[in-house]
Structure 1
Amino acid sequence: MKKYRYPFLFLAVSFTLVYCKTNKQTTAGQTTSTTAEVTKQEIPAAGTPGKSPFIPAGNTIAKMQVEDGFEVKLVASEPLVSSPVAMVFDDKARMWVVEMTGYMPDTIGTGEDIPNGNIVILEDKNKDGVYDDRKVIIDSLVLPRAICLIENGILVAEPTNLWFYEIKNDVAGKRTLVDPKYTEGGNVEHQPNGLLRAMDNWIYNAKSDKRYRKVGNKWLIEHTHFRGQWGICQDNYGRLYYNNNSQNLLGDYFPAGLGAWNKNQRTVAGYNEKSVANNKVYPLHPTPGVNRGYMKNILDDSLRLNDFTAAAGPVIYRGDLFGKPFDFNAFVPEPSANLIKRNIIDEKGYVVKGEQAYKGKEFLASTDERFRPVSLYNAPDGAMYILDMYRGIIQHKTYLTPYLKDQIGKRNLTQPLSAGRIYKVVPKKSNAKPVMIPDGANDLVKLLGHSNGWVRDRAQQKLIDGKYNQTVPALREALKQTANPLLAIHALWTLEGLNSLKPEEVISWLRQSNWMYKMQGLYASATLMTPTSYKQFASNFEGMIAENDTLSAPYIALNCYSLAKFDTTVSQSLLTKLATKYPNNRYVSDAVISNMQDREELFQNNITASLGNPDLLLNKQLQKVIAGVKSAQGNRNPDMLKKQFPKGEALFTSICQTCHGPDGGGVRSLAPPLNQSEWVTGNKDKLISIVLFGLTGPVKVNGHVYQTPEVSGDMPGIGYDKDMPSEDIAQLLSFIRKSWRNNGDNVSTEEVLKVRTKLTGREKAFTESELNGI
C-alpha cells in the first residue's frame, strides 16, 4: 500500500486555463483549504480555447517568466533531441544525453518495452551557443535513465542492469555488466537513477542505497543511505542533495559514505534531512491535470497546484555566472506545474537549512503546459541547463486515474512523443563561454581552483581517470595553500583518488581552525586508516573530544566504524566517551548507534551506570532500535511467503516496498507502516478498497496520526489499471496480511472481484472517515 504523489516520471498531464465554477483567484502567496472539486465537465475538451497546444520550440520561451536580470536560451530541440531525461557534459562541452523515447506512448503504455532509447552526443560545432550536431552513441535501449562518464567509457542505467561501455573515438565497444540488480524492485517510476560522480570519488544514486567505484578493472558496490526519488546533486563540499516527489529539497549534513551500517537503525540523524521544508509552489496558470487534481487541497481556488507533487532533479548552483546572491542556491524543477523553484541555502556548523527565495512567484515558470523540466545541471559555461521532456503524458499507467485518462483522450494529449528541449538560463548581456578541459597536467591542477564548480569537478575526475600521478607534488602544494580553500579541497580528493593522500596530510587538517578544512579532514580520515595509521587518528579524535569539539563529535562517531576494523577496544572507548558527553545530541546519538549493529542492548547496559536516565535522547534512540530488533525476531519467513504468494510478492516489490519499506515499517516522508497495522490485518473490504482506489490522509495507524509532512498525504490505488488481474491483487493482500508480524487470513480473488464490482466507476481515493463507514 503505497503513496505516489508523482515525482518526475509519474507527474500527471497538466491541463490549461481551466475555470472553477466559483472562479476565485487567490492572492499571490496564499493557499486555501476549501478547494472545490474539479469535475470533468469543467475542463475544456479538445478543440476548445482551453486546449493545451503543442508549441514549436522557437516559441516556447515567450511563454516563460524568469527572474529579473536573467534570460532563457534554447540550445537544443527536436529533431536534434527527443525525450531527454538525463545528461552529462564532456571535456569539449558536448552534451551526452539520455533519451527515454519509449516512456508511455499512450495511456496504457503500448510498446513501452520496445528498445528505442538512445544515448546521444550533441555538439555545438559552429560555436554559436546552439547545438547543431547529433551523434547516436548507443541505441536500442529500453527506458534508459542515467549515465556517467568515467575513465575510457560510460556507465548506462538500463533497467534492471547497470552497464559500462568502453568508448573509443565516440564509438561504443566492449560492454561490461556492473550490476544486474541496479534497479531491482520498483516499476519504471520507482527505480534508481542519478549516477552522480561525487567529490569523494564514489558514484551515488537517487532512489537507491548503493554506491559504485571503479578500481582498476573491478567495480566496487557498497551499501549506503537510501536517498531521494529522481535526481541527485552535490554542493561545493561534497554534501549530497535530492528530494522526493512532494518534498522541495532533502540533503545530508554528513559525509555520504558513512553511517549506513546498522541494519537495525531505521534513520540516522543528519541524513535525509529537510534542507528546505517549505513545499509551496506558485504556478503561472491553472494546473488541474495532476492525477488527483480533483481532490481537496491539491489545488487552490484558482485551480493552481498548492504544493510540490512532482519535485524532480535538483541542482545546487555552483557556477560563476549568476553572481554572489546565487551562490549556494538550490533550484528544483516541478514539471506538473511547469516551473523551477529557487531556494537560498545556509549552513550553521554542520546543519544545512534553507528557505524559498520568493513568496508568490518562482525563479522560472511557464504557461506552456507541456513544459516538463525534469533535470537541472551546472555547466562548463557557468549557466544552469534545463532538460525539458516536453510532452503531454508523464503519468505512468500503473496509477493513471480514469479522471486523467479521460482528459488525455478528449484533449488528444498523447501526441506528439518525439519532442524534447534543452535550455540554459543566463544573466542578461552575459557572454557565457564554456571552459574546455585540457589534457595538460599542470593546467588540470590549476583548474581544481576554478570559480566554476563543474570545471573543478571535471578537472579532478580527469586527473584521476588519466592517472596523472606526475601531478602529485603540485597537488601537495595546492593542499597546503590557504588562498583558495576550494582548490585545496579538490586537491585533497584528487590525491585520494590517485591513492597518494597521506595520513599525516589529513591529520593536519583535523587541527585546522577553519571548519571547512576540518570537515573534509574528518571525512577523508575514514579512507586513510590502516594498521599503521589508525592510532594517530584515534589520538587526535581523543584530543578533539577532550577539547569539547562539538562540531566534530558526530564525525568522530562515524569514523569509529573504520577504527573498529583495527582496534575494537579503542573504537568502543571513543564511542562511550561521545555517548556520555553528548547524550542529548541527536546527531551524536545516532552516529554512535550506527556502529552498534546487534550490540545495541549490550551497549545500553554498559552505559546505564552513567546514563541511566531513560529520558535522555540517546536512551530513547537506543530503545527504539532495540524494540525494532525484538519485533523483527517475530517476523515470518519471507522465503516461504514468496513461494506461497509469488505474484503478491512481485507486486509488493515493484509497487509497495519503495514507500512502505521492505520490512513493512514505513518510510519517513513517504508512507506509514504496514507491519502490525490494523488497516492491513483488519476488515478485508477496507484493505481491498484502499489498494484499489487509494487513500488520502491523514490516517491513524496504531494510535498515531500520520499526515503530511511525516508521510505524503496521498496514496493512489492500482485498481484504475483494468489490466491488473484480481488474482494478483488478492495475492498481494494475502502476502502483506501474513508478512512480518501480521497474522491476517488470506484474501481471495472472489473477495477482490466483489469489492471491485461494487466500486465500479469510482475515481476518488478514500478518506479514513469513508473507510470507517464500510
Structure 2
Amino acid sequence: MKLYVYVLLVFVVFTLYQCQSYKKTVAVNHDVAPDTTNSPVIHAAAAIKLMEVEEGFEVKLVADEPLVVAPVAMTFDAKGRLWVVEMVGYMPDVNGKGEEHPNGKIVILEDKNGDGLMDDRKVFLDSLVLPRAICLIDGGILVAETPNLWYYDIKDDRPGNRTLVDPKYADEGNVEHQPNGLLRAMDNWIYNAKSSKRYRKMGNRWITEDTHFRGQWGISQDNYGRLYYNDNSINLMGDYFTPGLGVANSHQKSVNGYSERTVRDNRVYPARPTPGVNRGYMSDVLDDSLRLKNFTAACGPVIYRGNLFGPAYDFNAFVAEPAANLIKRNILSEKGLVVTGVQAYKGKEFLASVDERFRPVSLYNGLDGALYVVDMYRGIIQHKTYVTPYLRDVIERRKLSEPLGCGRIYKIVPKGKKAVPAKFSQDPKVLVTLLGNENGLVRDMAQQILVDGKMKAAIPFLRQAVKDVKQPLLVIHALWVLEGLSALQTNEVLVLLESADWAVKMQALSVLPSVINGTSYRFYVDALVHLLKEEDELAASYIAFVANYIKPFNENAAHQLLIDLVKKYPANPYVSAAVVSNLAYREEDFAASVLRLIPDTNLVINKQLQRVVTSVRNTQKNRDPLLMSKEFPKGAVLFASSCQTCHAADGNGISSLAPPLNKSEWVTGDKDKLISIVLFGLTGPIKVNGHVYEAPEISADMPGIAHSEEISDDDVAQVLSFIRGSWQNNAGKISIDEVAKLRKRLKGREKAFTVEELESK
C-alpha cells in the first residue's frame, strides 16, 4: 500500500512538473497568438491575453496549476471557498490507457488574503476513479464516482462517514455519456444531466425518484427553478415547467414542455482554426478557414443570475464549447409558457481563445456576481470511444496528449466593477433577507443554509416574506424554504395561488405535490377548479400535472379536472401532454371517453392519446429482454453502456439524440448496412419506419466505434444480434465473421456513412 501511495505521489509530482516544463519551453511572445501548427502550453496569465472577450469585460485568473489540475466541475460553499472535482485520469493518452487508475480528487481552494486569487489547496478526497460531480448538502457532500453516488459527512474539512446513495448512479455509458451535474435546485431536489433520476435527503434517508431525462454534460436553473441543459451538438435545451412534474406515465415517451429546444441556432465562431475536432475531415464540419461551423462539444451551460453584468445580461444563457475554445452567449425571452433564445452575436462569441488548450467544460454563477469558467486545459478533449483516425493523427502529430498536469479556473467580470462575494451569517433574519438578494446564487445559498440548518427560528420571518408582494423572488424562495422545513401552511399556498404575479402562482402550483394530504386536498381541489373557471391557460398544464397528486385522495375529483381541461383546451399541446401524464395503464379507456366527448381526431388531445395508446400496444408486443440478454450477454452489456444512452432502453430512441432501433428497417434489414453504421457512424437525416429524423429531432451524427481498441468484432456481432432480436425486431443473428469481413473491406475508411452512400451499396 505504501509503495502504491509513493508511486501515485510520484505521478502527481511528475505531471505538475511536466506542465511547468512545457511552459518553460515556450519562448514565444505571449502577446502573440501561437502558430496553429503547434499547440504549446501557455502560462495562465499569458493565456488570458489570447482570449477575445466581449467589449467591456475582462477575464481574471482564480486558480491554475499546481493549485488545480484537470478540473471538470466545482461548487461554492458558504465561506466562498471552491470545491473542485479533478478528473486527472481522463484520457491519459490518445488510447485512453490508464483511465481506471484512482488518481481523481475533490479539493478545496481558498482565497486567504482576499485578493481574488486562490492561494490555498486542501485535498478533501483522493484516489478516485474519474470523479464527475459534487453537491454540498446538509453538512456533507455528494460525490459521483462511476458507477456510485456517495454521501460523505464533513468533519473539519475531512470526509467522515460514507453512505452509498445510489450504486447505479452512472453504471451505463462511457465517460462522455454518464450522469453528472448534481444541481441542487430551487425545489430542494437534486437534478442531473444525462439522467432520469433526482435525489433528496430527508433526515437521514435518501430518496430517489424518476424525473425527465435531460442533457449530456452540465445543468443549470433560472430564477424560477426551470432547468436548462444541452447535448454536444445542441446549443441549449430546457423545460417550460418546473422540474418535478409530468413523469408518472412511463408509456409517454416525451412530454411537451420538457426537453425543448431553447436555442435552435448551433453556429459557432472560433477565434482560430480548429482542425483538432473529431470529424474535421468532413466537408460540412469546418469552414474554408478550418474553423468549426457548429457545436460539436456543447456543454456546461449556465443561466446568468448575477447582479454584476447589468440588465442586458439578465436571463442570458452561456454555453461552453471546449472543442472550439469558446463560450457562447444566448439571450432568452419568455412568451406565455414558452422560453426561446437567440445568439447574442453573429460572427463572434462572448469569449473565444486562440489557445487550443483552453477547454471550458463547465460554467457557473459566482457569489460575487461574476461568471466562473472551469478550464480543463489540455490537448485531448474527445473520449477514446469515439476518436477517429483523423483526430488520432492530429493529436499525435501535434503532440496534444501531454501534459496532463494543467488546469485553470477563471472569472469574467465587467471592467471597472469590483466583484465582492456575499457573506453569510447564521442569523435567521439576515438569511431570510438574503432570499431577496439580486444575485441568484446568493438566494440559493441562503435557502440551502436555512434548510440544511433546520432553522425553525426563521419561520416567523419566512411567513412575513411570503406576503411581500413587492419582492416576488423573495416570496418564491421563502415558499421553498418553508417547504424544505416542512412548515408550509395550506392558507399560505392558497393565497399564493391567487397571486397576480404569474411567477409566484407558478411556484404555488409547483409546490402542491409536497403539501397535498388527506386533510388539505379539498381546499386545493376548490382552488384548482376556481383557476379553471377563470380560464387561466398558463395555469392549465400545472393543474393537469397536479391532478395526479389529487388522485390518491379523491380519484373522481382528479378525473373531473382532467375532463374539464380536455374540454376547455383540446388544441393545447402542453395541456394535452400534462393530461396524458396522469393516465398510466388507463390510456385506452380515457382516450375512448374523450373521443365520445370530442370526436375530432385531428385535435391535439386525440392525437396525443392515440400516440400513447399505440405505444402501450407496441410495448405489449415486445419480447422479454431477459431472454435476449441470456443469449447475447456481451451484447446486452454493450447496448446498456454504449447504445441505450441515446436510443433508450426500450429501443424507441430519445428525443434530440437518436432515432428508434425498435422496428427500424436499418436494424432488421441488410446486415452489411447495419454493421457499416455501427463501425463508422452515420450522418443524418435518416428515414426510419416512415418518419424522417433530422436535427434538431435527433443529433446530426451517430459516432462509429470501428477505431476503438476496446470493442472487438465479437462485441459488435453480439450487440447487433441483441438489437436485431429485441423488442419487436425479429431478424437473424450477425456473426463475428460477417463483422470481420466487412471491417476488412472497409479498412482505411475514416468518415461516417451517409444514407445515400448506404443505399447505393
Q: 2:724 aligns with which of 719, 731, 737?
A: 737
Distance, in Å, in 2 between the alignment partners of 1:676 and 1:633 is 14
Judge which range, 762-771 or 160-169, deviates more.
762-771
Distance, in Å, in 2 between the alignment partners of 1:278 and 1:689 is 31
Superposition deviation, residue 48 in structure 1: 7.8
Match of 2:69 in 1: 82
Q: Equivalent residue of 2:299, what SS? A: coil
Aligned positions of 1:117-266 closer than 5 A: 117-266=104-253
Deviation string for 1:711-764 (max 9, x for gaps)? 111111111113421111100110000011001100011111111111111111
Match of 1:698 in 2: 685
Structure 2 vs 1, CA of residues 446 and 49 (structure 1 numbering), >3 Å: closer, same or farther?
closer
Distance, in Å, in 2 between the alignment partners of 1:703 and 1:226 is 26
1:287 aligns with 2:266: no
Match of 1:305 in 2: 292
1:73 aligns with 2:51: no
Q: Equivalent residue of 1:609, what SS? A: helix
Q: 1:586 aligns with which of 573, 576, 592?
A: 573
Q: Equivalent residue of 2:262, what SS? A: strand
Distance, in Å, in 2 between the alignment partners of 1:178 and 1:126 is 37
Distance, in Å, in 2 between the alignment partners of 1:507 and 1:740 is 47
Aligned positions of 1:614-693 closer than 5 A: 614-693=601-680
Distance, in Å, in 1 between the alignment partners of 2:201 and 2:652 is 34
Distance, in Å, in 1 between the alignment partners of 2:95 and 2:52 is 34
Q: 2:376 aligns with which of 389, 394, 407?
A: 389
Match of 1:500 in 2: 487
Match of 2:529 in 1: 542
Task: Write the letter of the residue equivalent to 2:537.
Answer: T
Superposition deviation, residue 703 in structure 1: 2.5
Deviation string for 1:329-388 (max 9, x for gaps)? 111111111111111111122211111111111111111111000000011111010000
Instruction: Verify the 8 A CA contact 2:428 2:455 in the aligned structure 1.
Output: yes
Task: Write the letter of the residue equivalent to 1:585.
Answer: N
Gaps of 5+ in 1: 1-46
Aligned positions of 1:688-727 closer than 5 A: 688-727=675-714
Deviation string for 1:509-534 (max 9, x for gaps)? 11111111111111112211010010
Distance, in Å, in 2 between the alignment partners of 1:145 and 1:48 is 33
TM-score by length of 2: 0.95
Superposition deviation, residue 490 in structure 1: 0.8
Task: Write the letter of the residue equivalent to 2:601.
Answer: P
Distance, in Å, in 2 between the alignment partners of 1:246 and 1:317 is 21
Distance, in Å, in 1 between the alignment partners of 2:294 and 2:35 is 28
Distance, in Å, in 2 between the alignment partners of 1:608 and 1:573 is 16
Q: Equivalent residue of 2:438, what SS? A: coil
Distance, in Å, in 2 between the alignment partners of 1:48 and 1:542 is 68
1:108 aligns with 2:95: yes
Distance, in Å, in 2 between the alignment partners of 1:447 and 1:707 is 46
Deviation string for 1:172-191 (max 9, x for gaps)? 11111000010121111100
Instruction: Verify the 8 A CA contact 2:74 2:134 in the aligned structure 1.
Output: yes
Task: Write the letter of the residue equivalent to 2:629.
Answer: K
Judge which range, 120-129 or 698-707, deviates more.
698-707
Superposition deviation, residue 773 in structure 1: 2.6
Distance, in Å, in 1 between the alignment partners of 2:558 and 2:281 is 56
Determine which structure has greater relative contact order: mean sequence separation of CA pairs < 8 Å that are 6+ residues apart, divided by chain length.
1
Structure 2 vs 1, CA of residues 410 and 48 (structure 1 numbering), >3 Å: closer, same or farther?
farther
Deviation string for 1:201-221 (max 9, x for gaps)? 000000000000000100000
Aligned positions of 1:430-449 closer than 5 A: 430-449=417-436
Task: Write the letter of the residue equivalent to 2:198.
Answer: R
Aligned positions of 1:311-322 closer than 5 A: 311-322=298-309
1:568 aligns with 2:568: no
Q: 1:332 aligns with which of 319, 323, 334?
A: 319
Distance, in Å, in 2 between the alignment partners of 1:277 and 1:251 is 12
Deviation string for 1:536-588 (max 9, x for gaps)? 11111111111111111000000001001111110000000001111100000
Distance, in Å, in 1 between the alignment partners of 2:204 and 2:710 is 45
Q: Equivalent residue of 1:480, what SS? A: coil
Superposition deviation, residue 271 in structure 1: 0.5
Distance, in Å, in 2 between the alignment partners of 1:601 and 1:475 is 46
Superposition deviation, residue 617 in structure 1: 0.7
Q: Equivalent residue of 1:189, what SS? A: helix
Task: Write the letter of the residue equivalent to 1:105.
Answer: P
Q: Equivalent residue of 2:687, what SS? A: strand
Match of 1:378 in 2: 365
Superposition deviation, residue 76 in structure 1: 0.3
Aligned positions of 1:337-352 closer than 5 A: 337-352=324-339
Distance, in Å, in 2 between the alignment partners of 1:308 and 1:503 is 47
Deviation string for 1:231-255 (max 9, x for gaps)? 0011111111111111111111112
Q: Which structure's residues are more often helix, by fraction?
A: 2
Count of equivalent residues: 728
Q: Equivalent residue of 1:286, what SS? A: coil
Task: Write the letter of the residue equivalent to 2:559.
Answer: Q
Aligned positions of 1:12-91 closer than 5 A: 50-91=37-78
**In percent, how many aligned pairs have the same letter?**
61
Q: Equivalent residue of 2:300, what SS? A: coil
Distance, in Å, in 2 between the alignment partners of 1:549 and 1:601 is 28
Match of 1:747 in 2: 734
Match of 1:517 in 2: 504
Distance, in Å, in 2 between the alignment partners of 1:204 and 1:155 is 12
Judge which range, 698-707 or 395-404, deviates more.
698-707
Match of 2:589 in 1: 602
Distance, in Å, in 1 between the alignment partners of 2:428 and 2:657 is 47
Deviation string for 1:251-306 (max 9, x for gaps)? 11112001011110010011001111111111111112211111121112221111
Distance, in Å, in 2 between the alignment partners of 1:248 and 1:694 is 22
Deviation string for 1:579-635 (max 9, x for gaps)? 111110000000000000111110011122221111111101111111111111111
Match of 1:16 in 2: none
Match of 2:18 in 1: none
Distance, in Å, in 2 between the alignment partners of 1:526 and 1:419 is 46
Match of 2:341 in 1: 354
Instruction: Verify the 8 A CA contact 2:594 2:606 in the aligned structure 1.
Output: no
Gaps of 5+ in 2: 1-33
Match of 1:37 in 2: none
Q: Equivalent residue of 1:313, what SS? A: strand
TM-score by length of 1: 0.93
Aligned positions of 1:4-15 closer than 5 A: none
Deviation string for 1:490-510 (max 9, x for gaps)? 111000000000111111111
Superposition deviation, residue 49 in structure 1: 6.3
Distance, in Å, in 2 between the alignment partners of 1:616 and 1:512 is 32
Instruction: Verify the 8 A CA contact 2:595 2:606 in the aligned structure 1.
Output: no
Q: Equivalent residue of 1:633, what SS? A: helix
RMSD over aligned CA atoms reads 1.1
Task: Write the letter of the residue equivalent to 1:212.
Answer: Y
Q: Equivalent residue of 2:662, what SS? A: coil
Q: Equivalent residue of 1:574, what SS? A: helix
Distance, in Å, in 1 between the alignment partners of 2:36 and 2:105 is 36
